[in-house]
Amino acid sequence: MNRYARQLVRKIETRRARIGICGLGYVGLPLAVEFARAGFRVLGIDIDREKVRGIRAGRSHVRDVPSAIIRDLVRKRLLTAREHYRDCGAMDAIFICVPTPLRKTRDPDVSYIVAALDQVARHLRPGQVVVLESTTYPGTTEEVLRPRLEAGGMRVGRDFFLAFSPERVDPGNRQFTTRNTPKIVGGVTPLCTDVAAQFYRQAVDTVHPVSCTQAAEMVKLLENTFRAVNIGLVNEIALMCERLSLDVWEIIDGAATKPFGFMPFYPGPGIGGHCIPLDPHYLSWKLRTLNYSARFIELASEVNGGMPAVVVRRSTALLNSKRKSVNGARVLVLGVAYKKDTNDVRESPALDVIELLSRQGALVTFHDPLVPFLHRDRGARMKAVQLTPAALRTADLIIIVTDHSAYDYATIVRHGQLILDTRNATRHVPSQSGNVHRL
């Protein structure tokens, strides 16, 4: 262990180490809170002025982080926020937690990482540790971060430390949080791994080191590719069962009785959120550069991406069974967040369902207890309607997309005339209800 590493360890043990978090979204803010609660002074950096103002005023913009916790940490001067990177040089550890979207060509867009990294590099000094948490393709830390950080003459593993640790945030999950979800850490050198792991052990219960940054990057992609492929499989099984006039839910329940060798997944209207719809494509893109086709990933994406169209097809058939045309039909969509008990609409299949139905002339409204309005194409804004018995009764078709705990399904079933339940969860409206149809 060199002198910079020893200095960092002493600062960690005495809580004198200062921590910077670049990006205060679903990943960065919970991580900042955990480090601050562990007794470290934390600086959050975000170019979004409203987020910064909110944090400094003790307000949280992330549903899973209560404002009361933010207010307490700000009052104790353990947490603050800035819109600029000028204070990065005073930080001992810098964690980069910025978005990594896909371009329309499904190529990784690392521009947010590069923008944050270039700012960090301007202020880099000996003895700092830099950790990337943003999901990306294997090789990003070595190929993108390392050259920029070493451009000033310092060397990784000697003058500063560099690692990758994939985020594992699950919005709305009350059981597994940043604190009790095991953390994967891989450094450019073994010393980089040790130093980064030392920081994480102060804020996370379990830290699992791996051999290198590429391994840590690959772990994240395996986790989400596993889910994407299995969701794609069960969605295709659902389409097969429809053709065979079988109840896919009965089939899954039967298979789930096997105590080994089977893990139940459930069909649904598609996949949403930042991770599952996007992350496997980082891996697929990387493998294309190596002349390898990730066929499972591409097929799963095709099946999952087609599920909103399946919902619309089923909706059209149900309306036809009641001698109603989809053109002019009043359709109420319940739940537009990509998963229950969160307000996150990123990549939500409900958005595609609404768009496809609207193109066919349906008069679509929506309700979500956590999403007051939606931004649609071309800047149009769609406001949520109130979920009243009258709204349920007057809808020609109700499509249940997201399984929010706030919903009283008995009331929905009692007042709804025709209901399509697409939720990919095990809890469902009783099948004996004649007005309820499953996907």
Supply the residues annotated as catalytic. 275
Strand (E) or helix (H) holding 33: helix 28-37
DSSP code of residue 157? T
| Angstrom distance (rounded) from CA 46 to CA 85 | 9
Neighbours of 306 (CB within 10 A): 16
Bin 172: left if φ > 0, else alpha if -120 < ψ < 50, else beta: left
| Angstrom distance (rounded) from CA 217 to CA 209 | 12
Rg (CA), the chain: 24
Q: Which residues contact 321 (CB under 8 A, 6 or more apart)?
A: none
- 359 within 8 A of 382, measured Cβ to Cβ: no
Q: Which residues contact 179 (CB under 8 A, 6 or more apart)?
A: 34, 203, 204, 205
The residue length of the chain stands at 439
| Angstrom distance (rounded) from CA 357 to CA 355 | 6
CA distances from 3 to 6, 16, 45, 158, 162 (A): 5, 16, 28, 9, 16
| Angstrom distance (rounded) from CA 309 to CA 359 | 12
Pairing of the two strands 207-209 and 397-400: unpaired
- 141 within 8 A of 132, measured Cβ to Cβ: yes
The residue among 46, 39, 41 whose CA lies nearest residue 19 is: 41
| Angstrom distance (rounded) from CA 58 to CA 164 | 30
Residue 256: half-sphere exposure toward Cβ, Cα within 13 Å? 12
